[in-house]
């Protein structure tokens, strides 16, 4: 059995998955297996992965239809045979010695869940270090909460200190005890950590502060950024469940932390609801204006057509009047009367000769 099984669910990350795989296969710890499952990507992700299958440590399969990140991750988890299980999403990157460092740290501290500090990178792979950046500021606040309180539970009830499932490094004992990930779309990693803390307590958790052994990529297609309202709704649901789970064992300070987090989420969702409502009303108003404009345009067109028809009728009436006038002038002329008188006897004779 390998020392570490690395699980990589992949979906529509042709641009990034090659770097993710290289960062695993290039680890200073070589005793590993990499299990990659493509979840029916619509881009070239499977082809990029296939280019790396020359390394026998890579096990690769492809879904015929999309099953979602959680089911794909659980499938990979069932295939893992290592003493430890690590996860890397297909758009993130490991530091070269991440696995060796985490194995050492897990063994030295007897921890069943180990996480490291994180370097934020953009879509091009450049590190974002600006302390004023919203993500950097938020993550620093969570790390400070852990440092100040010394309580993993308090830190995680403040926010998801893990940031991503790419930061998971689990012992086989933890995997066997907790099983697979719950069927959340956005917060399955957050849920897993809270379940871990409920089962093992904070003493079996270790966080390597200052050791940025993971590069987390922030880009416009991050799952959680595609639907922030849905992600915050799931987080609130998870926290309300945690209130019931941990309530009897929480001190007053921890209850306040949990309550404050839930209150912030409620405020965000209330604001989002008002924004959506205002946008819907504005859209309705816009549609009303568009419908009104179409009606006006139709009315104007109808009126124009009526005028055109009326003009045609007037023109035709004028032409008929002109024709009548011309005919009356012909009939009243002396030449017409003379011709009519000359032709009348011939018409009488022609009529008598007709059979």
335: pLDDT strictly greater than 60 = no
Please, which pLDDT band fits residue 223 given cuts at 50, 70 and 90?
low
2: pLDDT strictly greater than 50 = yes
Please, which pLDDT band fits residue 325 given cuts at 50, 70 and 90?
low
Mind listing the pLDDT tens digit for each residue in 28-48? 999 999 999 999 999 999 999
Report phi then psi at 147, rounded to 5: -65, -40
Which residues, 6+ apart, have CB-to-CB distance to 196 below 8 Å? 112, 113, 174, 178, 204, 205
Averaged pLDDT for residues 104-128: 97
110: pLDDT strictly greater than 90 = yes
The pLDDT of residue 222 = 72
Proportion of the chain above pLDDT 90, given as a percent: 65
60: pLDDT strictly greater than 90 = yes
Q: Distance between CA 99 and CA 319 in Å, rounded?
A: 98
Averaged pLDDT for residues 118-129: 96
219: pLDDT strictly greater than 90 = no
What is the residue-averaged pLDDT of the chain? 86
133: pLDDT strictly greater than 80 = yes
80: pLDDT strictly greater than 70 = yes
Please, which pLDDT band fits residue 321 given cuts at 50, 70 and 90?
low
Q: Give CA separation, 80 vs 1, 20, 77, 84, 85, in Å.
A: 10, 18, 5, 9, 7
Backbone CA torsion sign across 46, 52, 54, 58: negative
The pLDDT of residue 244 = 83
Report phi then psi at 267, rounded to 5: -65, -45
């Amino acid at each position: 059995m390998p020392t570490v099984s690395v699980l990589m669910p992949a979906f529509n990350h042709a641009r990034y998955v090659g770097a993710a795989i290289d960062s695993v296969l290039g680890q200073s710890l070589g005793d590993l297996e990499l299990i990659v499952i493509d979840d029916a990507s619509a881009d070239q992700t499977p082809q990029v992965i296939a280019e790396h299958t020359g390394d026998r440590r890579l096990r690769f399969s492809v879904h015929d239809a999309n099953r979602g990140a959680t089911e794909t991750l659980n499938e990979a988890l069932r295939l893992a045979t290592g003493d430890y299980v690590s996860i890397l999403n297909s758009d993130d990157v490991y530091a070269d010695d991440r696995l060796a460092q985490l194995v050492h740290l897990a063994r030295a501290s007897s921890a069943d869940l180990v996480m490291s500090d994180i370097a934020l990178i953009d879509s091009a792979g450049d590190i974002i270090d600006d302390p004023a950046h919203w993500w950097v500021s938020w993550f620093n606040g969570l790390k400070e909460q852990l440092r100040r309180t010394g309580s993993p539970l308090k830190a995680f009830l403040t926010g998801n200190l893990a940031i991503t499932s790419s930061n998971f490094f689990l012992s086989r004992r933890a995997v066997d005890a907790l099983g697979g990930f719950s069927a959340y779309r956005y917060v399955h990693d957050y849920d897993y950590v809270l379940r871990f803390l409920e089962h093992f307590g904070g003493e079996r958790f270790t966080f390597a502060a200052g050791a940025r052994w993971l590069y987390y990529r922030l880009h416009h297609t991050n799952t959680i950024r595609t639907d922030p309202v849905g992600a915050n709704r799931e987080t609130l649901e998870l926290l309300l469940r945690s209130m019931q789970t941990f309530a009897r064992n929480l001190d007053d300070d921890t209850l306040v932390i949990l309550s404050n987090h839930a209150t912030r989420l409620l405020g965000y969702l209330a604001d989002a609801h008002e924004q959506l409502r205002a946008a819907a009303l504005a859209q309705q108003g816009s549609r009303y204006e568009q419908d009104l404009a179409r009606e006006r345009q139709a009315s104007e067109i109808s009126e124009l057509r009526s005028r055109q028809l009326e003009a045609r009728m007037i023109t035709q009436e004028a032409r008929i009047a002109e024709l009548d006038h011309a005919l009356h002038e012909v009939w009243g002329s002396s030449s017409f009367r003379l011709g009519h008188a000359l032709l009348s006897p011939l018409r009488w004779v022609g009529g008598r000769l007709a059979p």
